[in-house]
């Protein structure tokens, strides 16, 4: 081996080393562009690629999870509209089931960014979470079997009548306070209450009129909503206390939904077929 051949070996090795470094740099640049550039995951108003929204899974016309996993209903359309205004398309939404007993804990633990789940604004709840909205007004009512003419409203309730609603809900508390003699059954879901009503296990189901109308439409001719609402319920979008910036953005999105006609279109599509008369959109409170 000559001196010249010995000197060439480190030169060839350096070339390979430099080539390897160049390839690594190119890969790093490409990955950075993919992540931070236009081809990477989009970042919405929350600074995340996805938004987590708590919804109900069991309220036809309002919010229901279908057999194929898709979500439909008025609340769902409200949630989608708000998410879009925050910079999140439908494919960037993670739907999370928010049962009545779990809504505050989901928000407090950060498991959802906000909740759109027929969530009535009450002084007690405002101690734990903040609310944007309200975006809908309804009232508690009664659903009975179509052939039952004995219950025509809450004034017909007596100690021999049984009423079903969901555990931990505002309607349950109101029945306990106003009609303490009524046999109150608190189950885990409204479908369970509906099954009990259809099977003769209870005399009535109580919750907000708009929810009951959705169930009546699901089983035409078998059930009916009776009497006038005996409460005023304002639905709001629940979120973590202190997040005033997000609350303001949600309020602005709701206002835009009302002003653009999208709110009315969502109501007509989801709740119009039930025969439930649309209320006027409530005034969105930016200071509440």
Say whether both 132 and 55 belong to one domain: yes
Say whether both 149 and 134 belong to one domain: no
Q: Is the pTM of this model over 0.75?
A: yes
Say whether both 150 and 194 belong to one domain: yes
Q: What's the rounded Cα separation, in Å, for the pair 239 and 114?
A: 5
Per residue in 194-216, pLDDT (tens digit) is 999 999 999 999 999 999 988 98
Q: What is the pLDDT of residue 218?
A: 86
In a domain, 19, yes or no: no
In a domain, 13, yes or no: no
Say whether both 179 and 250 belong to one domain: no
pLDDT-derived band of residue 112, with 50, 70 and 90 as boundaries?
very high
Identify the domain containing residue 187 by its residue range. 140-226
In a domain, 80, yes or no: yes
| Separation of first and last alpha carbons in the chain | 88
Say whether both 57 and 81 belong to one domain: yes
Say whether both 64 and 132 belong to one domain: yes
Say whether both 133 and 146 belong to one domain: no
Say whether both 145 and 129 belong to one domain: no
In sequence order, which ranges of the chain are alpha helices (DSSP H)?
3-36, 74-85, 103-108, 123-126, 170-178, 190-198, 209-218, 244-260, 262-270
121 φ, ψ (degrees, to nearest 5): -80, 120
Say whether both 222 and 144 belong to one domain: yes
Q: What's the rounded Cα separation, in Å, for the pair 269 and 77?
A: 10
In the chain, how many domains are there?
2
SS3 labels along 164-190: EEECCCHHHHHHHHHCCCCEEEEECCH
Q: What is the pLDDT of residue 158?
A: 83
In a domain, 45, yes or no: no
Q: What is the pLDDT of residue 132?
A: 97
In a domain, 91, yes or no: yes
In a domain, 282, yes or no: no
Average pLDDT for residues 217-235, to the nearest whole number? Answer: 90
In a domain, 15, yes or no: no
Tell me what the pLDDT averaged over the chain comes to.
86
Q: What's the rounded Cα separation, in Å, for the pair 219 and 22?
A: 68
CATH of the domain at 120: 3.40.190.10
Say whether both 128 and 189 belong to one domain: no
Q: Is residue 84 scored above 50 in pLDDT?
A: yes
Q: What is the pLDDT of residue 76?
A: 98
In a domain, 284, yes or no: no
């Amino acid at each position: 081996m000559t001196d010249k051949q010995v000197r060439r070996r480190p030169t060839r090795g350096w070339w390979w080393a430099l080539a390897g470094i160049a390839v690594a740099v190119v890969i790093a640049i490409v990955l950075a562009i993919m992540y931070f550039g236009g081809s990477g995951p989009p970042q919405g108003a929350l600074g995340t690629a996805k938004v987590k929204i708590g919804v109900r899974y069991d309220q036809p016309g309002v919010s229901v999870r279908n057999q194929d996993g898709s979500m439909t209903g008025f609340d769902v359309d409200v949630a989608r509209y708000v998410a879009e205004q925050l910079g999140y398309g439908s494919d960037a939404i993670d739907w999370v089931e928010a049962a009545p007993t779990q809504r505050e804990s989901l928000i407090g633990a950060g498991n959802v960014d906000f909740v759109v789940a027929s969530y009535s604004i009450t002084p007690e709840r405002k101690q734990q979470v903040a609310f944007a909205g309200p975006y809908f007004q309804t009232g508690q009512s009664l659903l009975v079997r179509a052939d039952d003419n004995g219950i025509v409203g809450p004034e017909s309730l007596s100690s021999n009548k049984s009423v079903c609603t969901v555990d931990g809900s505002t309607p349950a508390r109101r029945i306990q306070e106003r009609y303490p003699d009524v046999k109150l059954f608190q189950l885990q879901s409204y479908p369970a209450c509906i099954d009990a009503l259809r099977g003769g296990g209870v005399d009535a189901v109580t919750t907000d009129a708009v929810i009951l109308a959705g169930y009546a439409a699901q089983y035409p001719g078998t059930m009916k909503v009776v009497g006038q609402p005996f409460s005023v319920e304002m639905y709001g979008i629940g979120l973590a206390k202190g997040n005033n910036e997000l609350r303001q953005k949600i309020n602005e999105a709701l206002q835009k939904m009302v002003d653009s006609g999208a709110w009315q279109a969502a109501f007509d599509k989801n709740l119009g077929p039930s025969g439930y008369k649309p209320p006027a959109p409530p005034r969105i409170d930016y200071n509440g």
